[in-house]
Homo-oligomer: A and B are copies of this chain.
């Protein structure tokens, strides 16, 4: 088994567990920084570890286009290519294709799309997406899913769910029929779709459980629905997913969203927010977000957050960070990224500690009392 459920909070559904892969373990709840094209932008593998990152995410769509499978195979997979020796999860490309503005066409066979990079045409099928992730060599791979934005009408959501489920079955067949390429184990997660409709979510979920995966993701959220709907659908799914399997809420989110997911029984998260916001000069603190470009910071001798123990806060002032953004020093992008990743990893790590003490709800309440979304 990839997952060990260690403890469920006595007062809510929040869970503490452990993912075990041949590249090491990751305590859960886990936050996975996004290493789009193989690199979590601006930071080194060593810095990721110093931020207490245990597992990262790679984007199959981007890695397939560049560096491409031939190079990844020659290197013996993504770990040896990018130097991150811990666990890696790869998404299936479903979300990137959904986000592409260029023409894409889905039918039973799969999804045809045009590369955002050079305009070339490609086809992703449930089968070749398994093969691609074999070549990437991620520890956890996701099945190809079919996404629609929220809210979609029932027939659209239903069709997307049906595609996703049929594809999941084909993906599992391919997964079972093919060996990993580099001598270590890979696991495969299914993805629950069904938009904002509980009956579709239920059908999706039951279908996936019949097929059987090592873990289950809740997809098709954080794509336009309001917070209450997301909460409702997430809770609906976690109530029905069997306890021994890891649960992954894809693409979520802000600090408050992550705490809410944890409360509902989610174990794994990924989101570009901490890294992308950092590069835009937005950093997280216990009291909310700060904009480093704000001229009010220009003479500030204190760090972003006095209580923070990240490299950035131990070594550099808010005033200096403001300066690096003002004069476009690349070093500043790294400093902000390190701080934000440390903030997110501290959040899930503290949440875990609280869960182990049956104290998650109090932790969440205290965090949200201090933390203000701008």
Which residues on A are within 8 Å of B, measured CB to CB? 37-39, 41-46, 66-67, 70-71, 74-75, 81-83, 298-299, 301, 315-317, 319-320, 323-324, 326-327, 329-331, 333-334
CB closest residue in chain B, given A66 = B327
- List chain B residues, Cβ under 8 A from A39: 324, 329, 331
Q: Which residues of B contact A75 (CB under 8 A)?
A: 299, 301, 317, 319-320
Q: How far is the CA of A81 from the CA of B299 in the complex (A)?
A: 10
Name 19 A/B residue pairs within 8 A (Cβ), A-sorted. A37-B327, A39-B331, A41-B331, A42-B331, A44-B331, A44-B334, A45-B315, A46-B315, A66-B323, A66-B326, A66-B327, A67-B319, A71-B299, A71-B319, A75-B301, A75-B317, A81-B323, A82-B320, A330-B333
CB distance from A137 to the nearest CB of B (A): 15
Distance in angstroms from A173 CB to nearest chain B CB is 32
> What is the distance, in angstroms, from A328's C-beta to the closest C-beta of chain B?
9
* Given A75-B301, A331-B44, CB of A81 within 8 Å of CB of B326: no
**Structural contact, B41 and A330, CB atoms closer than 8 A:** yes
Indicate the member of A43, A44, A327, A331 with the most B CB atoms within 10 Å.
A331
Q: Contact check, A298 vs B45: say whether CB atoms are below 8 A apart.
A: no
**Distance, CA A149 to CA B42, complexed state (A):** 39
CB–CB A44/B315 < 8 A: yes
Q: Smallest Cβ distance from A73 to chain B, in angstroms?
A: 10
Known: A44-B334, A45-B315, A46-B315. 5 other contacts (CB 8 A): A44-B331, A66-B326, A71-B319, A83-B316, A334-B334
